[in-house]
């Protein structure tokens, strides 16, 4: 048996998010790839007799099942886990092989940190090893985005998939949706470690559905959403975030995080829920530099917090947030994006 391994990071602090969408047309997002990652293992062996070609094991759900063959355009073709199944069915699996696709992640469900994009990226990367040739990180990201928008009919920007495929800290410039350039933001080790130590990811304790929130925002943006001054403000904040990170000005970066969250509030009242406000208010009492509601926001998801560098205060903040019913998620910055390798 051959084992193919793939891991892909999630992202947080998507400054400029909402401008990477079809309705914005063009935009800029500055984000940070982080672990915990999504892990995919594909167990590969020769297929014999009438053995199923594809078995799926979703470890987080303790769900193991055979994936029935289906035409790419067949209605109702998804059985239990549409995202995983759609990613598998997008790939060309040789008929002579039988595979078991195992998926696991330590990220809480619906954390608004691009976990679904990381799942698609990791599955595509792993299954790409079954055939000659390799997809580039950009091609992997584009295919992962197509799976969410075309196969599943979801609203999705492009920055999540790109962050997962490329890793690191990046400025993603959307020239004309969905085409984008990914510019890595390179900083020294001391600044990298300092930023990693200051950042916190706080899960509010329940999943969210970003596509539903997208629909509300799109409706409220009106007939010319791409020209809305709030989206233009988000585009500018992404570039300010890039500049602040590049010089290690964490006070300026924290201010950008706060400003981005304020624009989110103005886009729709539901984007910064009462639970997010509670997290932010607790964080403020511990002298943090900035707070950013991740992703689309809404009733559930997570908040990124940039601390002032005093670790005792960060631990005190985490303790208070935990006592209030929220969940700090351990993270560290991911220098690399998608990684794929095989072993016998």
- Mean pLDDT calculated for residue range 241-269: 96
Domain 2-186+334-343 part of CATH 3.30.230.10? yes
* Per-residue pLDDT tens digits for 221-242: 888 888 999 999 999 999 999 9
Q: For residue 210, is pLDDT > 70?
A: no
Q: For residue 205, is pLDDT > 60?
A: yes
What are the distances in angstroms from CA 178 to CA 4, 41, 149, 219, 243?
A: 30, 29, 11, 20, 24
Q: What is the DSSP letter of 137?
A: H
Domain ranges of the chain: 2-186+334-343, 189-331
What are the distances in angstroms from CA 334 to CA 8, 35, 165, 295?
A: 9, 6, 11, 18
Q: Mean pLDDT of all residues in the chain? A: 93
2-186+334-343 and 189-331, same CATH topology: no
- Mean pLDDT calculated for residue range 104-111: 92
Rg (C-alpha) for the chain, rounded Å, is: 20
3-state helix, strand, coil in the chain (%, to 5): 40, 25, 35
What is this structure's pTM? Answer: 0.94
Q: For residue 77, is pLDDT > 80?
A: no
* Per-residue pLDDT tens digits for 265-308: 999 888 899 999 999 999 999 999 999 999 877 778 999 999 99
Q: Which residues pair with 180 in a beta bridge?
A: 174
- Mean pLDDT calculated for residue range 128-139: 95
**Percentage with pLDDT > 90 across the chain:** 82
Could you tell me which CATH class the domain 189-331 is placed in?
A: alpha beta
The whole-number pLDDT of residue 221 equals 86
- Mean pLDDT calculated for residue range 132-145: 96
The whole-number pLDDT of residue 208 equals 58
* Per-residue pLDDT tens digits for 35-71: 999 999 999 999 988 888 999 999 999 999 999 876 5
């Amino acid at each position: 048996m051959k084992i193919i391994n793939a891991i892909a990071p999630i992202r947080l602090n998507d400054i400029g998010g909402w401008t990477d969408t079809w309705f914005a047309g063009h935009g800029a997002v500055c984000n940070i790839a982080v672990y915990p990652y999504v892990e995919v293992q594909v167990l590969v062996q020769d297929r014999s007799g009438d053995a199923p070609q594809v078995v799926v094991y979703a470890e987080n759900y303790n769900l193991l099942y055979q994936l029935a063959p289906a035409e790419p355009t067949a209605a109702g073709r998804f059985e239990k886990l549409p995202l995983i199944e759609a990613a598998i069915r997008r790939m060309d699996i040789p008929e002579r092989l039988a595979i078991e696709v195992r998926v696991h992640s330590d990220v809480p469900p619906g954390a608004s940190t691009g976990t679904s994009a990381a799942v698609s990226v990791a599955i595509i990367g792993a299954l790409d090893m079954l055939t000659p040739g390799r997809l580039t990180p950009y091609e992997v990201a584009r295919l992962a985005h197509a799976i969410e928008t075309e196969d599943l009919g979801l609203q999705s920007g492009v920055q999540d998939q790109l962050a997962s495929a490329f890793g690191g800290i990046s400025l993603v410039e959307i020239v004309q949706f969905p085409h984008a350039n990914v510019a890595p933001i390179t900083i020294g080790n001391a600044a990298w470690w300092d930023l990693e130590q200051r950042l916190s990811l706080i899960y509010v304790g329940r999943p969210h559905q970003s596509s539903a929130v997208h629909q509300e925002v799109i409706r409220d943006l009106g007939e010319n959403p791409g020209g809305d001054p709030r989206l233009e403000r988000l585009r500018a904040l992404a570039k300010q975030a890039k500049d602040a990170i590049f010089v290690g000005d964490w006070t300026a970066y924290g201010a950008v995080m706060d400003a981005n969250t304020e624009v989110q509030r103005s886009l729709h009242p539901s984007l910064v829920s009462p639970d997010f406000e509670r997290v932010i208010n607790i964080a403020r009492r511990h002298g943090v530099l900035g707070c950013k509601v991740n992703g689309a926001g809404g009733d559930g998801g997570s908040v990124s917090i940039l601390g002032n560098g005093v670790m005792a205060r960060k631990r005190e903040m985490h303790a208070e947030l935990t006592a209030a019913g929220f969940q700090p998620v351990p993270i560290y910055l991911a220098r690399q994006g998608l990684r794929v390798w095989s072993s016998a």
